Amino acid sequence: MATITVERKPLSLLERTYIPNIVAGLTTTFKRMVKPTETLQYPEQRPAIPTGYRGVPTLVNDPHGREKCVSCQLCEFVCPPKAIRITPGEIANDDPNAHVEKRPKAFEIDMLRCIYCGLCQEVCPEEAIFLQNQYSMTGYTRAEMVNNKDRLYELGGTLPDQHYKWDKKKTAAEAASRGGHH
């Protein structure tokens, strides 16, 4: 690699006293001092959350109220700090969502372990887990910092997408049982 030697310009006498630079610095800080502050008064003022923000991971329902998670456990597998713990369960035959067959019996995310990387959201094949706007997760005990399934759905709400993958499947099955396309 070629080395280029840059000649350093010798300082003038005035520069060597530092005084012009000190005065310039003092001017800058004084100007800054009389300007309004930039700080957000946090609990009262809240920051605007940009789109794509990675907040607390949550679970979502579809617009029909069906829980989207089918407990495939891919998020549990991909989670780098192993914060997610899922206990899979079968959906009972008399359940309206019986055709989905599988749902989480328990779904826990340990927010003390979570690193908000968003890999769970990225890997989810059912678009059931999302890192949403919630950024302030606090608690007094370790147990409080573990979000269970109920809390995750409470935080997550409903995802207003119109896929209805499983509902379409149910419709097809019902059509078949009535003698439609096999």
Partner 1 sequence: MIAAPKPDLVTVNIDGVDLSVPKGTNVIEAAKLLHKDVPHYCYHPKLSVAGNCRMCMIEMGTPAFDPATKAPVIDPATGKQKINWIPRPQIGCGTTVSPGLHVKTSSPMVKDAREGVMEFLLINHPLDCPICDQAGECKLQEQATGYGRGYSRFIEEKNVKPKRTQLGPRVTLDDERCILCSRCVRFSKEIARDDVLGFVDRGSYSTLTCHPGKKLENNYSLNTVDICPVGALTSTDFRFKMRVWFLKQTHTLDIESSVGVNAVVWSREGTIYRLTPRRNDEVNDTWMADSGRILYKQVAATDRLTAVRLNGADTSLDIALNAAAALLKDGSVSIVGSGRASVEEQFLLKQLATPIGAQGHLVARTATGDKLLISADRNPNIRGALVTGLISQLPSAELKQLSREIDEGKIKTVVSHGEDLLAAGLTAAQLAKVAVIYIGTHANATSAAAQIVLPALHTYEKAGTFVNQQFRIQKFYAAVPGPQGATNDLVVLAKLVASTGASAPASEVHALWPSIAATVPALSSMLYKNIPDTGLLLDATAWAGLPFVEGESLHFKPAAVAAAEGARS
Partner 2 sequence: MDFSLYFDLPLWFRLVLQGTIVILVLFPLAAACSMAERKISAWIQGRPGPNRTIPPFLAWIPGINIIRNLGLFQLAADGGKFTFKEDPVPGNVNKFYFILAPILSMIPALSTISFVPFGAYFTTLADGTKHLVPIMLARTDLGLLAVFAVSSLGVYSLILAGWASNSKYPFLGGVRASAQLISYELSMTLSILPVFLWVNAPGGEGTLSLFDVVQTQSQPGFLGGMWYIFLMPVSAFVFLVALFAETNRQPFDMPESESDLVGGFHTEYGAFKWSLFFVAEYAHMIVGSGIFCLLFLGGWNPLPWVSLGSFINLAAGVLPCVASPLFMGVIGITFFLLKVGFFIFFFMWVRWTLPRFRYDQVMNLGWKKLLPISIANLIFYAVAIAVKDLCFPNL
Site residues, partner 2 (CB under 8 A): 22, 25-26, 28-30, 32-35, 37-39, 41
Site size toward partner 1, by CB under 8 A: 24
- Give the Cα separation of 182 and 169 in Å (integer): 13
DSSP state of 144: G
Cα-based angle 75, 78, 82 (whole degrees, multiple of 5):
85
Q: Rule CB under 8 A: which of 77-106 touch partner 1?
A: 77, 88-90, 99-102
Residues 6+ apart with CB under 8 A from 161: 62, 63, 127
Question: Contact letters (x/-) for partner 1, 140-159, by CB under 8 A?
Answer: --------------------
CB 135 within 8 A of CB 53: yes
Of the pair 40, 176, the CB lying nearest partner 1 is at 176
Of the pair 4, 33, the CB lying nearest partner 2 is at 33
66 scored as a contact of partner 1 (CB under 8 A)? no
